[in-house]
Structure 1
């Protein structure tokens, strides 16, 4: 049965499954407005996910055709995947932050082989062995990239402007820019009293930025045309602190379950990343590539048991932490090193 939860005050969540993913599902939130129901995220583009979303809405007496608008916290396919199908069925608008809209547009416009070339080259620079990059180069030749998610994601109609209220009749929903997980990730602050009278400042739809028991992936923002060495982990930590100061009465995340006391969870995540940075600094007593660092980091399973695709994510996360150490002046990139090599200073 489709799991639907009422959160009070005209807010519900629907568990929309993510196929073959340990996360299990995305919590798609439905928000009543005076102009009609609005979805916050939509779930993965898969027939079973679509059927679950439709069934969940139906259990609330809502048809997909009734949807007035779709607000996307970030562009990842487990959040934005079904947006186009919802719009086709209802005429709803889709809103997204400009930075993530740019990712969607860039991905749609690029030649599919570009992404495999980019990923293979990026992993090579990070120190990945030839046997790891070989499947990417083989996939480029075979054209299998056309089966990857997100290549034809829907282009949004509206821009979410940080700090501004979204134009939702009868509701006060304010966008808060929280880059880190993606460059255009937003949390959405419902500036209304908690329906159960809990103390705090409204409720927060947190997307993937703040989850009760999971540390969101912080990797490198993917832009083949931008050679700038950004600091996504620094962006994420700054964003966390802003959310901690907001002190909402309840957090409604896109995975797991709703929870109170955002400030405590923020402190846990800040401490986690500080511990990880300290551990990496100890590893960098000798020069290491991002791949070598990832092999030595602590994950939820031994490196040998991490699947192929997850290793790519792990290396990206390792490099995001290494860039943070460089930004803090605690590590440096060895000049002229190929692959890229970091060392503590």
Structure 2
């Protein structure tokens, strides 16, 4: 297979050793695109992630494969780092065209199954309840109730995401002929996020232990969203940020030669990037403790936190993500004994201790 480029933004990037990256656009998203990786195996090409389920994304995915002298019908398998629609969206269509298997961690497969089986309005009702519980104002809840109107819910992404055929088992090598690709469970961004360690010598003989397909877990220039694991039927208080920080440290100890993430670009010095992210979250937790000198609900905390733009410029949907991230940080502070709920408050407010 041969790589090709078109203009200043290459459709295909060759990474050597039978690995390529294809740029698959994400509609109306500042990230721009997902890097879908193609891994050559003795039974045919395997994709790591597939991109968003959108006609333009499908066109770019197939065009990228064509640039490698491949058809989507040649795809032997699909390995999904996590269930989000910019990674798993096109998996079902790839399987329909090629007969390829799809592999995913069991925790994210459970999310896909739950989403497929639930009536779409269930998620809107759950989100409205969650947002009310963390202090969202009525004017923020009203659009969610309006979205329950007949026919509106069919437009939500991910409702018909493909159910995988295979389970990715942490610590085990995937069944890929001629390749050594080991699954590493890295929860945080999602409960079943996995990184994939290609345990083979780097094609340019860079020092380190192979390469890492890092999904959204480890990115060179941005911090992945760490929100709550959503399950309307489970009242267990999870600690996604704690999971993420623990997962980061495991990845840092691998000593890989190069990281191939699902966004932005490949990079080296994974351990250095891990240290930056650990420091970033510690600084953020410390900053939140300062804000929590006065009791605040998670919504009030999110309004006061520093984001990439002022709160009044953050789009509606992104505010939901922001308050989820604020609550994840609060849960971490509570678990560490650095904050606590204020008795008798409703919605519940938290204060530093």
Which of residues 134, 146, 153 in structure 2 aligns to 1:126?
Answer: 134
In 1, Cα distance between equivalents of 2:305 and 2:275 = 22
- Is residue 2:64 matched to residue 1:64? no
- Is residue 2:62 matched to residue 1:54? yes
Alignment of 1:1-345 (within 5 A): 1=6, 3-345=11-353
- Post-superposition CA distance 1:263-320 (Å, at most 9, x none): 0000000000000000001111111000100000000000110000000000000000
Q: 1:258 deviation in Å?
A: 0.2
Give structure 2 stretches of 5+ with no counterpart.
1-5
Aligned to 2:3: none
Q: Secondary structure at the match of 1:189?
A: strand
Q: Secondary structure at the match of 1:279?
A: helix
In 2, Cα distance between equivalents of 1:295 and 1:342 = 14
Q: 1:333 deviation in Å?
A: 1.4
Q: 1:176 deviation in Å?
A: 0.1
Q: Secondary structure at the match of 1:51?
A: helix
Runs (4+) of structure 1 exceeding 3 A deviation are none
In 1, Cα distance between equivalents of 2:339 and 2:289 = 7
Q: 1:84 deviation in Å?
A: 0.2
In 2, Cα distance between equivalents of 1:136 and 1:324 = 28
Q: 1:148 deviation in Å?
A: 1.0
In 1, Cα distance between equivalents of 2:13 and 2:148 = 43
TM-score by length of 2: 0.97
Q: 1:341 deviation in Å?
A: 1.2
Are the aligned partners of 1:113 and 1:143 in contact in 2 as well (CA < 8 Å)?
A: no
Q: 1:340 deviation in Å?
A: 1.9
Alpha-carbon RMSD across the aligned residues, in angstroms, is 0.7
In 2, Cα distance between equivalents of 1:333 and 1:207 = 34
Are the aligned partners of 1:165 and 1:174 in contact in 2 as well (CA < 8 Å)?
A: yes
- Post-superposition CA distance 1:83-133 (Å, at most 9, x none): 000000000000000000000000000011100000011000110000001
Are the aligned partners of 1:178 and 1:185 in contact in 2 as well (CA < 8 Å)?
A: yes
- Post-superposition CA distance 1:232-282 (Å, at most 9, x none): 000000000000000100000000000000000000000000000000011
In 2, Cα distance between equivalents of 1:309 and 1:142 = 20
Q: 1:141 deviation in Å?
A: 2.6
Q: 1:143 deviation in Å?
A: 3.7
Q: 1:146 deviation in Å?
A: 1.2
Q: 1:219 deviation in Å?
A: 0.1
Q: Number of aligned residue pairs: give it.
A: 345
TM-score by length of 1: 0.99
Q: Secondary structure at the match of 2:92?
A: helix
Q: 1:338 deviation in Å?
A: 1.4
Q: Secondary structure at the match of 1:5?
A: strand
In 1, Cα distance between equivalents of 2:348 and 2:247 = 28
In 1, Cα distance between equivalents of 2:311 and 2:229 = 23
In 1, Cα distance between equivalents of 2:159 and 2:259 = 31
Q: 1:61 deviation in Å?
A: 0.6
- Post-superposition CA distance 1:9-64 (Å, at most 9, x none): 00000000000000000000000000110000000000000010000000001110
Q: 1:142 deviation in Å?
A: 3.9
